[in-house]
Amino acid sequence: MESVVQAHDLVFRIFLEEDRINSRVKELGAELRTRYAGQTPVFLGVLNGSFMFTADLARAFSEDCEVSFIKLASYRGTQSSGDVATLIGLETDLRNRHVIIVEDIVDSGKTLQVLLQELRQLQPASLEIAALLQKPDMLEHPIHVAYVGFSIPPHFVIGYGLDYNGLGRQYAAIYQLAEDGTV
């Protein structure tokens, strides 16, 4: 496993090794298996960042479940000043289902707050969040993340699905932006 990787102009150092991620994901899977016993929950991965975590979490869960993916598309409204986020790609009927939103990382919490608002309208039986990473110091929106893999300091990370401008998703480990930043 590399200890230093580069994405575009930036250098990142090893932060969470593959083994540590794998054992934590297995623990989360076991916790969810107990919580959702006999309920065939829906794992709803938020693309793109959560593709790897969602796959591993569903395998760790290992009981009956459904796996589906959604995406938040941001665009600038023609009239309005701010970004508008819309939910796309949802093909599963969530009414009366036990839904677990699967996110790579919770930063300000804005993404999840928008998602929770949209998904609650679909009247799931229950709605919880599983996030591999959370930066608690950065949280600005009052959301509750029931299942957190690792709480981390507010530094930029890549790997295990997370990217920096499109690069870095393929790594099995997670790397943190080096203090001295550039090459």
End-to-end Cα spacing for the chain? 20
Backbone dihedral angles phi then psi of residue 34, each to the nearest 5 degrees:
-70, -45
Interacting partner of 29 out of ligand IMP, Mg ion, none (Cβ under 5 to 8 A depending on kind): none
Q: Sign of torsion, CA 113 114 120 124? A: negative
Write out the residues near ligand IMP by the rule CB under 6 A.
49, 103-111, 156-158, 162
Q: Pick the closer one to ligand IMP by CB: 36 or 158.
A: 158
Q: Which does 157 bind (CB under 5 to 8 A by kind): Mg ion, ligand IMP, none?
A: ligand IMP
Choose from Mg ion, ligand IMP, none: what does 60 bind? Cβ within 5-8 Å by kind.
none
In DSSP terms, which residues pair with 43 in a beta bridge? 67, 100
Strand arrangement of the beta sheet that strand 10-16 belongs to: 4-7, 10-16, 174-182, 157-158
Q: How many residues in total does the chain contain?
A: 183
Q: Is 107 a catalytic residue?
A: yes
For CA atoms 48, 137, 126, 56, the dihedral sign is: positive
Q: Which member of 29, 41, 49, 109 binds Mg ion (CB under 5 A)?
A: 49
Return the H-helix or E-strand segment holding 100.
strand 98-106
Beta carbon of residue 37, minimum distance to ligand IMP (angstroms, whole number) = 29
Of the candidate spans 66-74, 102-110, 128-136, 171-179, the one that interacts with Mg ion by CB under 5 A turns out to be: 102-110
Rank residues 63 and 143 by Cβ distance to Mg ion and give the closer one. 143
The one catalytic residue among 9, 107, 137, 180: 107
Residue 109 makes contact with Mg ion by CB under 5 A: no
**Collapsing DSSP states into helix, strand and coil, what is residue 143?**
coil
Q: Which residues bind Mg ion (CB under 5 A)?
A: 49, 104
Q: Which residues are catalytic?
A: 107
